[in-house]
Structure 1
């Protein structure tokens, strides 16, 4: 009973923290034009790189299409959708995302914390494994200031990848960047899977990044 009560209290605290971050007034614009992959909207003033959501009607249900501000011309914003836009109507509402309680745009934020362990998420932090969204109030900015390479810690320790040929012939250091290049169907994904499974590390993050429309 005590454990269940603690979970409820933690959930309520997280919900209260998220509610405190919401702005008192939510402004919106309207979609005015769609040309190819670029959408135009008016009624909002947002910086380049800001994230927006566009309302999309699907029968009696309303869904949100996430998009990014890639340009502007006067009062018009140029948006690049990050999802399918089928079903979006002229005049659809466009909302700014990641607005603080003070009404400031904070840029794209992604969830952080131990709740992400064992989860499969897309590029926006939304779950792909059929489970609820990660229960966390911690977030981090997608775009951060560049790091001074001269301040990086020197690579001094060997990283055990669990793959003996790599450990013996192509030794990898902790913090090292490495590239894996090969033709199609020769086992790149299999090798990466072996390294992810057997590498001695506290947390392993696997990211899949491809060109739009490639896969």
Structure 2
């Protein structure tokens, strides 16, 4: 092997090492207008309901503001921010989120798996308990096709809620859907807390709307 060929191979290896350190290519648009809670962006073609992130400069640091596509007019996208937009500048970059290997928008994804046990997350799957994001590779779509009710498994087993009046008078079955409706201040949250605390189940998943 000649000296020149060795030098060329070394140069190519260096280029390959540097290219491996480059960030992945991301197509982005620009923020063109902000009117109230609706932002307008151009340069991206995304479907309704798609998730985007907007760059927000905070000194020398760059943060991302998550938003959702709620409409469009020609080449303009209308975005609804899901976080505080203070500090977002005109012309800020707008990136698509949750892009699959085929380059398609896959919609909002939430983490799944045993790593969620004992965790507190918001509606976007971000931690609220001050701990790192759940270490899981499984995700599920937030919006899924409706399930045919005729294909549901029949309810055959009683679910012990730990609340005697409910067990005796309003028995709940495993897999049953139920609604709790009442006026303000009569104890809905207390009752839900009791059911969540005392129900006999291997895993409790609780959702709250403030």
Map Cα deviations across residues 121-164 of structure 1 (whole Å, 9 max, x no partner): 01111100000000011001111111111111121211100001
Question: Aligned-pair distance for 1:3?
Answer: 48
Question: Aligned-pair distance for 1:56?
Answer: 1.1
The number of residues matched between the two structures is 201
Question: Aligned-pair distance for 1:24?
Answer: 4.5
Map Cα deviations across residues 98-133 of structure 1 (whole Å, 9 max, x no partner): 012332211111100000000000111110000000
C-alpha distance 45-188 of structure 1, shift in aligned 2 (>3 A): same
* Secondary structure class of the residue paired with 1:191: helix
Map Cα deviations across residues 10-59 of structure 1 (whole Å, 9 max, x no partner): 99999999999999421110000011111100011111111000011122
| Higher RCO (C-alpha under 8 Å, 6+ residues apart) | 1
Q: 2:195 maps to which residue?
A: 195
C-alpha distance 133-8 of structure 1, shift in aligned 2 (>3 A): farther
In the alignment, structure 2 segments of 5+ residues that lack a partner are 202-210
Contact between 1:66 and 1:81, CA under 8 Å: does it hold in 2?
Answer: yes
RMSD over aligned Cα, in angstroms?
Answer: 9.4
Separation of aligned partners in 2, 1:124 and 1:130:
15
What TM-score do the two structures reach when normalised by structure 1? 0.81
**Could you tell which deviates more after superposition, 8-17 or 170-179?**
8-17
* Secondary structure class of the residue paired with 1:126: coil
What TM-score do the two structures reach when normalised by structure 2? 0.83
Q: 1:163 maps to which residue?
A: 163
Q: Which has the larger radius of gyration?
A: 2
In the alignment, structure 1 segments of 5+ residues that lack a partner are 202-215
C-alpha distance 142-10 of structure 1, shift in aligned 2 (>3 A): farther
**Could you tell which deviates more after superposition, 66-75 or 20-29?**
20-29
